[in-house]
Amino acid sequence: MKSKKRVVVGLSGGVDSSVAAHLLLEQGYEVIGMFMKNWHDESVTISNECPWMEDSTDAMLVAEKLGIPFQAIDLSEEYKDRIVDYMFAEYKAGRTPNPDILCNREIKFDIFLKAAEKLKADFVATGHYCQKGEIEVKGQPVYQLLAGADPNKDQSYFLCQLNQSQLSKALFPIGHLQKPEVREIAKKLDLITAEKKDSQGLCFIGKVRLPEFLQQQLKPKKGKIIVIPEDLPIYQQTQIPARIEPEEYDDYLLDALAFPIHYTAEQGKVLGEHNGAHYFTVGQRKGLQVGGTGKPLFVIATDTQTNVIYTGLGEDHPGLLRHALFVKNEDVHWIREDLKLTPGESKEYEARIRYRQPLSGATLIQKENGLYVFFEKAQKGIASGQFVAWYQGEECIGSGTIF
């Protein structure tokens, strides 16, 4: 008799992973539940908002109810090395990290996957709202990362850095369901997590107060808030020329459109003070605490070297909108390696620069120095360090870290 395939499910203590474990049992897999304790620091967690102890207990109770073996694994050291230190370094450099994307690439589908393989697992499964496809290219299996069926919950963006090897071992049992259906299944099974609120925090570490979290390492430092006028001459160079296709732009124009603008204090006037440029990100509106400006004030750039925040008035300020971005070669990642562009090639896809953002038409142009992504519609708040992900229909094809 053929032995059952073994799957280790990352039980987070939430409803999604609980139902994922149940569905795998129904499909005839041998299922093991594993709770990951990632980095946790009481001093910056909003008390009793999803502390890991409670999550771990809920995960254990779910495993008991489903009749599957359960174990907890402490990954706090690796999490601190790979995620927390990365966040501090990125904010310090004035960039905007995405810890959730990195957590999936570095923790759940790397360290956790290796722990599962030690238990002789064939697959790891998570409660992500995304789906996996498999096609054949030149006689070889190629795995596809597909959007979740629930448009309000599609989490494919968070998995945009996975590679073929990681996808080959991944299962997403709830990806074909709508969130209300998942809750319904959990209620029928009388699982303790059925009514539990979705966690909003960093990947598995609960709700974190970001300013306090950052202040542990990045000390407050007073600096100027400068407002930049919208008729700054440099904005003339960042206009899209009419009647030429992005592929026909010369290198100078490509760079002018895709690289962030470097501002200087002389270009604007001082509006107020802040406590540290590294606490702010491009596109941010809250937390500036400057009143009486009429229109809302947005961060259009931060300079952590000089500790200055540059702002613009109104959401249509030209400093807040950009038509293009650049990804350095070493930061370009193709999930579908068979579709990788070579220098001189271009292709039309749809892309997004943040979770839940609607996809927008984009032309990808691969040059010797890296990948240029041109959006049909100007994007608001493109920030260095964020991830851009590109799609063909439902399928996420690749991603990259914005320069």
Q: Which residues are catalytic?
A: 103, 203
Distance in angstroms (rounded) separating the CA atoms of residues 125 and 131: 11
CA gap 272, 284 in Å, rounded: 16
How does DSSP assign 172-183, residue by residue?
A: -TTTTS-HHHHH
Amino acid present at 134: E
Q: In which element (H, E) is residue 380 found? A: strand 370-380
Helix, strand, coil % in the chain, rounded to nearest 5 = 30, 30, 40
240-270 in b/e form (b: 16+ CB < 10 A) is eeeeeebeebeeebbbbbbbbbebeeeebee
Sheet strand arrangement including 223-227 = 269-274, 223-227, 308-313, 297-303
d(CA 403, CA 386): 8
